[in-house]
Amino acid sequence: MPVGPHEFKHALGRFPSGVTVVTVRTPEGEDHGMTASAFSSVALHPPLILVCIRKGNSTGDFIDAARMFAVNVLADDQIGVSNRFAGYGPGPQERFTDLATSRAPVSGAIWIDGAVARLDCQVHATADGGDHTIYLGRVEATSVIEVGGNPLIYCGGAYRTLGAKL
Residue 152 contacts residue 19 (beta carbons within 8 Å):
yes
Mean pLDDT computed over every residue of the chain:
92
Tens-place pLDDT, residues 34-82: 999 999 999 999 999 999 999 999 999 999 999 999 999 999 999 999 9
The pLDDT assigned to 43 comes to 97
Q: Which residue has the higher pLDDT, 54 or 1?
A: 54
- pLDDT of residue 114 exceeding 80, the answer is yes
Residue 143 DSSP SS3: strand
Provide the whole-model pTM: 0.93
Q: Which residues of 16-32 are buried (b: 16+ CB within 10 A; e: fewer)?
A: ebbbbbbbbbbeeeebb
The pLDDT assigned to 86 comes to 93
Tens-place pLDDT, residues 146-161: 777 899 999 998 999 9
Tens-place pLDDT, residues 126-148: 999 999 999 999 999 999 987 77
Residue 112 contacts residue 75 (beta carbons within 8 Å):
no
Residue 110 contacts residue 104 (beta carbons within 8 Å):
yes
The pLDDT assigned to 92 comes to 63
Map out the domains of the chain as residue ranges.
5-159
Q: CA-CA distance, 11 to 120, in Å (whole number)?
A: 31
- pLDDT of residue 93 exceeding 70, the answer is no
- pLDDT of residue 91 exceeding 70, the answer is no
> According to CATH, what is the number of the domain 5-159?
2.30.110.10
Q: CA-CA distance, 68 to 59, in Å (whole number)?
A: 11
| Closest residue by Cα to residue 89 from 35, 39, 137 | 35
Residue 123 contacts residue 135 (beta carbons within 8 Å):
yes
